Amino acid sequence: MIHTDAVIVGAGPVGLFAVFELGLLGLRAHVIDVLDKPGGQCAEFYPEKPIYDIPGLPACTGQELTDNLMRQIRPFEPVFHFGTSAQRLEELPGSRWRLTTDDGLVFEAPAIVVAAGGGSFTPKKPPIPGIERYEGHGVDYAVRKIEALRGQRVVISGGGDSALDWTIALRDVAARVTLIHRRSDFRAAPDSVRRMMALAEQGEIDFVLGEVSTLQADGAELCGIGVRTEAGMVDLPCDRLLPFFGLTMKMGPVGDFGLALRGGRIVVDTEKFESNRRGVFAIGDINHYPGKLKLILSGFHEAALMAQQAFRYARPEERLLFQYTTTSTRLKEKLETT
Ligand SMILES: Cc1cc2nc3c(=O)[nH]c(=O)nc-3n(C[C@H](O)[C@H](O)[C@H](O)COP(=O)(O)OP(=O)(O)OC[C@H]3O[C@@H](n4cnc5c(N)ncnc54)[C@H](O)[C@@H]3O)c2cc1C
Q: What is the pLDDT of residue 35?
A: 82
Rounded Cα–Cα distance for residues 19 and 79 (Å): 10
Q: Is 123 in the pocket of ligand 1 (CB under 6 A)?
A: no
Q: Is 241 in the pocket of ligand 1 (CB under 6 A)?
A: no
Q: What is the pLDDT of residue 249?
A: 66
Q: Is 35 in the pocket of ligand 1 (CB under 6 A)?
A: yes
**Which ranges in 251-335 belong to alpha helices (H)?**
296-314, 329-335
Q: Is 32 in the pocket of ligand 1 (CB under 6 A)?
A: yes
CA dihedral 112, 118, 119, 121 (to 10 degrees): -160
Q: What is the pLDDT of residue 62?
A: 95
CA of 286 to the centre of ligand 1 (A): 9
Q: Which atom of ligand 1 is nearest to the CA of 251?
A: 38
Q: What is the pLDDT of residue 323?
A: 86
Dihedrals phi, psi of 23, to nearest 5 degrees:
-65, -40
Rounded Cα–Cα distance for residues 249 and 154 (Å): 27
Residue 68 makes CB contacts below 8 A (sequence gap 6+) with 57, 60
Ligand 1 pocket test, pick from 41, 120, 166, 247 with the greatest ligand atom count within 8 Å of Cβ, gives 41
Q: Is 62 in the pocket of ligand 1 (CB under 6 A)?
A: no
Protein residue with its CA nearest to atom 8 in ligand 1: 51
Q: Which atom of ligand 1 is nearest to the CA of 40?
A: 49
Q: Is 224 in the pocket of ligand 1 (CB under 6 A)?
A: no
Q: What is the pLDDT of residue 121?
A: 63
Ranges of residues in the chain whose predicted pLDDT is under 70: 121, 249, 337-338
Q: What is the pLDDT of residue 334?
A: 80
Q: Is 9 in the pocket of ligand 1 (CB under 6 A)?
A: yes
CA of 266 to the centre of ligand 1 (A): 15
Q: What is the pLDDT of residue 132?
A: 94
Q: Is 100 in the pocket of ligand 1 (CB under 6 A)?
A: no
Q: What is the pLDDT of residue 162?
A: 85
CA of 14 to the centre of ligand 1 (A): 8
Residue 202 makes CB contacts below 8 A (sequence gap 6+) with none
Q: What is the pLDDT of residue 316?
A: 95
Q: Which atom of ligand 1 is nearest to the CA of 51?
A: 8
CA of 272 to the centre of ligand 1 (A): 20
The answer to whether the beta carbons of residues 17 and 303 sit under 8 Å apart is: yes
Q: Is 208 in the pocket of ligand 1 (CB under 6 A)?
A: no
Q: What is the pLDDT of residue 337?
A: 66
Q: Which atom of ligand 1 is nearest to the CA of 46?
A: 1
**Which ranges in the chain belong to alpha helices (H)?**
13-24, 40-45, 62-73, 131-134, 161-170, 190-201, 296-314, 329-335
